[in-house]
């Protein structure tokens, strides 16, 4: 499982010109699911997303999590994160999870994050989405595992 996280001032997702998810200050999280990803990995990733310290404290050091800041999370499925880009000029998606597993893990991550009480918004699994954001920093990290 891979999650590309971006600290944002705001972000939104549109599907067919309709906003389906939107947040103010917080994290935009793109999730890529790989074959063999498990419930344990989902739980660990949820905990990492909630506790990863990438917001500045009073001294400007990245010591605060999205929970500490009272921010929100916008979670968007993105199977291209699981692509094999090691060779050639075209990505291979043989390293991405089958749609059923990917959707299961995506929904499980939404459920785990919702249980935290942190405000969560989402994209739409499998849809053609347009994502808008204002990256704050910019601050972007790739979490794997």
The pLDDT tens digits for 77-125 are 999 999 989 989 999 998 999 999 999 999 999 999 999 999 999 999 9
pLDDT digits (tens, 9 = 90+) for 45-72: 999 999 999 999 999 999 999 999 999 9
Neighbour tally for 85: CB within 10 Å: 11
Q: Flag the least confident range among 9-13, 86-90, 132-136.
A: 86-90
**Which band of pLDDT confidence, cut at 50, 70 and 90, is reported for residue 145?**
confident
| CATH architecture of the domain formed by 2-137 | 3-Layer(bba) Sandwich (3.50)
115 CB burial (10 A radius; 0-12, 13-18, 19+): exposed
Q: Which of 30, 41, 55, 79 is catalytic?
A: 79
Average pLDDT value for residue range 32-43: 96
Q: Are 30 and 78 in contact (CB under 8 A)?
A: yes
Domain boundaries, the chain: 2-137
CA neighbours within 13 Å on the CB side: how many for 60? 1
Instruction: Give Cα separations from 29 to 24, 66, 90, 119 (angstroms).
Output: 13, 12, 24, 13
Give the pLDDT mean for 34-43: 96
Annotation marks residue 79 as catalytic = yes
Is 30 designated active site? no
Catalytic residue among 6, 41, 78, 118: 78
Indicate which residue of 38, 80, 85, 130 is catalytic. Answer: 80
The pair of three-digit structure tokens given for residue 104, joined into one six-digit string: 């299961």
């Amino acid at each position: 499982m891979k999650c590309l996280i971006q600290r944002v001032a705001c972000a939104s997702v549109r599907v067919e010109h309709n906003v389906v998810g939107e947040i103010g200050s917080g994290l935009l999280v793109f999730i890529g699911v790989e074959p063999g990803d498990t419930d344990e990995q989902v739980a660990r990733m949820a905990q990492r997303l909630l506790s990863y310290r990438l917001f500045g404290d009073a001294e400007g050091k990245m010591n605060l999590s999205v929970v500490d800041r009272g921010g929100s999370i916008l979670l968007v499925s993105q199977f291209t994160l699981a692509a094999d880009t090691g060779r050639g000029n075209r990505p291979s998606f043989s390293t991405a999870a089958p749609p059923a597993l990917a959707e299961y893990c995506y929904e499980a991550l939404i459920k785990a994050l919702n249980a935290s009480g942190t405000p969560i918004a989402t994209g739409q699994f499998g849809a053609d989405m347009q994502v808008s954001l204002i990256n704050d920093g910019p601050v972007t990290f790739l979490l794997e595992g």
